[in-house]
């Protein structure tokens, strides 16, 4: 497996503010990598550094094994798709896509051939003579992608490309991007704050927060086995539920912890040492909570009924909210008191600093 | 009945809203324009009525050597000002646009300062700077042409120097327009162009210039109108001399009306200038728009 993009101890600071701290990651060639995180986490900055639009304060950026840290954006073999498309408004779709080829002095028939090919892949053939102003949002985004395709870059960079589209179109474009990745086989790096996009598109997800990579891995690794409370809470929708608890016992690969609110004892899978009296946080995903006679007492406040799936918003004694996912629910549960339980394998334990205890 | 009242009330409100403008427009524009047109067919003095003379004033005009000189000078002045002032304003705007924060505000203020000065102050400043004996610019002129020049009394220097004064005076406003236009171009387009491999020169020619074209068309048209109305600077700096080399149409109107007391003839000249400005500016703006749409 060869490396497509490699960052080695990359740092970025604006004045005295560090926005990227010592990031080292390897993205295999042909991978679909997603940088995900809340706004201000540095994911876009990192992408722009790979593109060469931001200077690097320290460290090395390599693309296809070549150090490009000091190279101009155009010489890095990357193409970028911007959030606001960044189409040239005075040029037609054809001229937008042909722009880089013309600058590079390509022959007319070569330009026509490449643009036609990109237009065919993106179903833009009928729109080549139009200006961006006369296109829909989805078509504009496809032109922006087409502009990237004709350059045949070794790395595609996407900066929140779908966030200006409506929900339905977003789903459709997501599928098209996945298809495009399969067809072109190029390395793609995709930035988003939307964890659904990250889960559905990525081979590898990099979760960022405050300029640090919190965890890297496949979507399901991050979902099933998060390294810390932040990743656990960020990946997955609705988000993971957290309960403050105190360790009351353990051994034989499990531990018991009593919740601070409701005084219910959960048993969680845990092999390390767990001194009694230690404060921990238990994380349980909505689909892993079962309703039972005994269990953590809670009152059903509201039910979001989607037909197949239902989300129960239940309140604990102190009013804090917990989300429970049910399938095929048909009873009216609002106002009922229920008990919440979960299997030991489905309960994740975090220390007070948010680190995962395994 | 109720709807009828409502419609009536709405119409009254609409009328009351447009009335102030309509009345002002009729009083200070439409009525005087009508009077000028009427006057241009008479031999009226500046004040009072005159006899109807038909097209005599216009016939005289075609045979008036001074009218043709003035018209030619107006054209010469357009050549001297419009393109240079647009080019200079664009260059300054591009430079100022690269600055940031308070430095940008300060530099912009410096370039804009002349624009807020009254024309009499502007001409006084330049008359001093170009004074034959004491002007601080005379050594510069001496350096280039080998001798001092009384620029506003020299047939070759007078129009170009009035153009320089005019550009210095009015350029700040154009810089402001260009700067607003530049700020409207999204930064992302330059980033996309950088990734597409554009050099700074290509970024300007293929992104900045085409996207700035609507502003350029506006600046060119505003300049055309403004510079055709040239009067104050000439009146204050050279009074149309020497030997009528800075005689322009508005100065001719002023002379005929206020010095020769010939209101009818002055009206004819004014009307011709009015028609020229209207036709040329509409024509130019349409041409520029077509080019922009291409």
Predicted TM-score (pTM) of this structure:
0.81
Q: How confident is the model at residue B1 (pLDDT cuts 50, 70, 90)?
A: low
Which string of DSSP letters, residue by residue, matches B30-50? IHHHHHHHHHTTB---SSS--
CATH of domain A3-234: 3.40.50.300
CB contact under 8 A, B188 and A100: no
Model pLDDT, residue B208 = 94
Distance in Å, alpha carbon of B172 to nearest chain A alpha carbon: 28
Please state the domain extents for chain A.
3-234, 241-357
Separation in Å, CA of B171 to nearest CA in chain A:
28
Q: Which of A131-140, A265-274, B128-137, B162-171 has the lowest mean pLDDT?
A: A265-274
Nearest Cα neighbor of A86 from A159, A166, A167, A152 is A159
Give the DSSP per-residue string, A277-325. Answer: T-EEEEEE-GGG-EEESSSEEEEEEEEEE-SSEEEEEEE-TTS-EEEEE
Directed axis angle between helix A167-184 and helix A137-149, to 10°? 20
**Is the per-residue pLDDT at A26 higher than 90?**
yes
- Asked if B196 lies within 8 A of A147 by C-beta distance, the reply is yes
**Number of other residues whose CB lies within 10 A of the CB of residue A35:** 29
CATH class, range B69-249: mainly alpha
Q: Which among A350, A353, A344, A341 has a CA at the least distance from the CA of A274?
A: A350
Cβ–Cβ below 8 Å for B196 and A90: no
Tokens describing residue B53: 């003379």
Structure confidence by residue, pLDDT tens digits, A332-356: 888 889 999 999 999 999 999 999 9
What pLDDT score was predicted for residue A237?
A: 86
pLDDT at res. A348: 94
Q: DSSP state, A350?
A: E
pLDDT exceeds 60 at position A310:
yes
**pLDDT tens for residues B213-263?**
989 988 998 999 999 999 999 999 998 878 888 889 999 999 998 998 888
Predicted confidence (pLDDT) at residue B293 exceeds the cutoff of 90: no
- Chain B nearest CA to A209, separation (Å): 25
Tell me which chain B residues have a C-beta less than 8 angstroms from the C-beta of A74. 194-198
User: What sign does the dihedral B19-B20-B25-B26 (CA atoms) show?
Assistant: positive
Nearest CA to CA, how far is A71 from chain B (Å)?
11
- Whole-number pLDDT of residue A1: 58
Look at domain A241-357 and name its CATH class. mainly beta
User: Between chains, do B192 and A84 touch, taking CB under 8 Å as contact?
Assistant: no
Check residue A85 and report its DSSP letter.
-
Confidence of residue A138 (pLDDT cuts 50, 70, 90): confident
Nearest by CB to B198, from A89, A90, A103: name it. Answer: A103
pLDDT tens per residue across span A56-114: 999 999 999 899 999 999 899 899 999 999 999 999 999 999 999 999 888 999 999 99
Residue A144 pLDDT: 93
Higher-confidence residue of B51 and A146: namely A146
Q: What is the pLDDT of residue A172?
A: 87
pLDDT score of B291? 67
What is the pLDDT at residue B91?
95
Tell me: the pLDDT tens digits for A233-265? Answer: 999 989 999 999 999 988 788 899 999 998 999
Average pLDDT for chain B: 90
What's the pLDDT tens digit per position in B67-105?
Answer: 999 999 999 999 999 999 999 999 999 999 999 889 999
Name every chain B residue with its beta carbon within 8 A of the beta carbon of A82: 188, 191-192
CA angle A33, A39, A44 (to 5 degrees): 45
Chain B residues bordering chain A (beta-carbon distance below 8 Å): 186, 188-189, 191-198, 202, 206-207, 210-211, 213
Amino acid B209: pLDDT? 93
Query: Which of A14, A47, A68, A74 best tests the B interface by mutation, with the highest count of B CBs <10 A?
Result: A74
pLDDT at A320 exceeding the cut of 70: yes
Chains A–B, number of C-beta pairs less than 8 Å apart: 54
pLDDT for the residue numbered A204: 94
The whole-number average pLDDT for the span B51-66 is 88
Q: How much is the mean pLDDT over chain A? A: 91
End-to-end CA distance of chain A: 30
| Residue A212's pLDDT band (cuts 50, 70, 90) | very high
- B255-283 pLDDT, tens digit per residue, is 998 998 888 999 999 999 999 999 988 88
Closest Cβ opposite residue B194 in set A74, A89, A104: A74
Question: CA–CA separation, B83 vs B78, rounded Å?
Answer: 8
What does the pLDDT read at residue A69? 92
Name the residue ranges covered by the structural domains of chain B.
69-249
Q: Which residues of A touch B191 (CB under 8 A)?
A: 51, 53, 73, 80, 82, 86
């Amino acid at each position: 497996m060869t490396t497509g993009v490699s960052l080695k101890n990359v740092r970025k600071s604006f004045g005295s503010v560090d926005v990227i701290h010592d990031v080292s990651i390897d993205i295999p060639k042909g991978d679909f990598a997603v940088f995900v995180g809340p706004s201000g986490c540095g994911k876009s900055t990192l992408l722009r550094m790979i593109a060469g639009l931001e200077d690097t304060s320290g460290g090395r950026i390599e693309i296809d094994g070549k150090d490009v840290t000091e190279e101009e954006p155009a010489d890095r073999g990357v193409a970028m798709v911007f959030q606001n498309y960044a189409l040239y408004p005075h040029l037609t779709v054809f001229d937008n896509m042909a722009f880089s080829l013309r600058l590079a002095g390509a022959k007319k028939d070569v330009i026509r051939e490449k643009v036609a090919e990109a237009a065919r892949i993106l179903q833009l053939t009928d729109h080549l003579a139009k200006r961006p102003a006369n296109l829909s949002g989805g078509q504009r985004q496809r032109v922006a992608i087409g502009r990237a395709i004709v350059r045949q870059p070794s790395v595609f960079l996407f900066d929140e490309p779908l966030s200006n589209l409506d929900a339905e179109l977003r789903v459709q474009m997501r599928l098209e991007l996945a298809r495009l990745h399969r067809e072109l086989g190029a390395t793609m790096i995709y930035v988003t704050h939307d964890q659904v996009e990250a889960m559905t598109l990525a081979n590898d997800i990099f979760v960022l927060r405050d300029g640090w990579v919190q965890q890297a891995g496949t979507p399901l690794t991050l979902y099933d086995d998060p390294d810390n409370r932040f990743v656990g809470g960020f990946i997955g929708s609705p988000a993971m539920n957290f309960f403050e608890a105190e360790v009351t016992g353990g051994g034989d690969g499990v531990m018991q912890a009593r919740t601070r609110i409701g005084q219910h004892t959960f048993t969680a899978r845990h092999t390390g040492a767990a001194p009694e009296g230690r404060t921990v946080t238990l994380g349980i995903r909505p689909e892993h909570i079962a309703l039972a006679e005994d269990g953590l007492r809670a009152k059903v406040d509201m039910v979001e009924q989607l037909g197949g799936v239902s989300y129960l918003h239940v309140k604990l004694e102190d009013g804090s909210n917990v989300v429970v996912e049910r399938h095929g629910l048909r009873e009216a549960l609002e106002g009922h008191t229920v008990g919440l339980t979960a299997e030991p394998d489905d309960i994740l334990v975090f220390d007070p600093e948010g680190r995962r205890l395994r | 009945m109720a709807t009828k009242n409502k419609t009536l009330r709405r119409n009254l409100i609409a009328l009351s809203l447009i009335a102030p403008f309509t009345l002002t427009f009729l009083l200070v524009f439409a009525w005087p324009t009508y009077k000028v047109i009427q006057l241009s067919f008479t031999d009226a003095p500046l004040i009072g009525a005159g006899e109807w003379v038909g097209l005599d004033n216009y016939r005289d005009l075609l045979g008036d050597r001074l009218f043709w000189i003035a018209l030619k000078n107006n054209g010469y002045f357009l050549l001297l000002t419009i393109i240079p002032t647009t080019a200079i304003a664009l260059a300054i705007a591009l430079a100022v646009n690269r600055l940031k924060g308070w430095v940008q505000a300060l530099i912009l203020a410096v370039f804009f300062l002349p624009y807020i000065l009254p024309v009499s102050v502007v001409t006084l400043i330049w008359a001093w700077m170009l004074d034959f004996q004491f002007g601080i610019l005379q050594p510069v002129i001496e350096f280039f042409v080998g001798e001092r020049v009384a620029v506003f009394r020299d047939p070759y220097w007078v129009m170009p120097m009035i153009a320089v004064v005019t550009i210095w005076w009015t350029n700040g406003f154009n810089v402001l327009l260009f700067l607003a236009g530049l700020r409207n171009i999204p930064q992302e387009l330059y980033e996309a162009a950088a990734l597409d491999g554009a050099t700074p020169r290509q970024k300007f020619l293929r992104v900045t210039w085409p996207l700035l074209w609507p502003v350029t068309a506006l600046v060119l048209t505003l300049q055309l109108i403004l510079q055709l109305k040239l009067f104050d600077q000439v009146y204050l700096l050279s009074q149309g001399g020497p030997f009528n080399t800075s005689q322009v149409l508005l100065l001719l109107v002023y002379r005929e009306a206020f010095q020769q007391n010939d209101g009818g003839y002055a009206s004819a000249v004014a009307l011709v200038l009015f028609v020229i400005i209207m036709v040329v500016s509409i024509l130019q703006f349409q041409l520029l728009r077509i080019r922009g749409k291409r």
